[in-house]
Amino acid sequence: MHRRHFVQTLLASSATVMTGLPLSATAFEVNKTDAEWKKQLSPDAYQVLRHAGTEVPGSSPLLNEHRKGIFSCAGCSLDNYSSATKFESGTGWPSFWKPLDNAIVTKGDNTLGMDRTEVLCRRCGGHLGHVFDDGPKPTGLRYCMNGVALKFRTA
């Protein structure tokens, strides 16, 4: 519990923390029916973004994306991360040490028998991944994102 509080405190300056609120009770700017999401997204992106799935580690082409640019939500196109904050974590998922301002929200996640902090797109509520407190300076955070939940464009 102490670790989660530490991460949430660090996140508060650049993200809204929604701990304790069920996802269904949270209003997002982009709301679609499950059928609409299923039609819009690839099967893998749908499973990750709308059902908090996880892609196979090392499977995302974005893992090796090193050009200057922006990583945005594959569901609603909100810009989430800059390539300037991407780093090689060795985990098999694209990792960042900081999100863009007003890009994400977080909530507590105790699935799989562990306390984690889930990262959601601020605009559509899509599951992007999790944030951990073992990242590099200056934040010490590792935003471990599912590449299938993101799309990339050069700057």
DSSP 63: G
Whole-number Cα distances in Å, 61 to 69, 92, 110: 15, 11, 29
Among the options 73, 76, 124, 144, which is catalytic?
144
Is the CB of residue 96 less than 8 Å from the CB of residue 107? Answer: no
Closest to 83 measured CA to CA, from 102, 106, 63: 63
Write phi, then psi, for 68 (nearest 5 degrees).
-70, 135
Told to judge if 76 belongs to the known catalytic residues of this protein, a careful annotator would answer no
Closest to 71 measured CA to CA, from 48, 104, 40, 44: 104
Pairwise CA distance, residues 27 & 40, whole Å: 20
Catalytic residues: 144
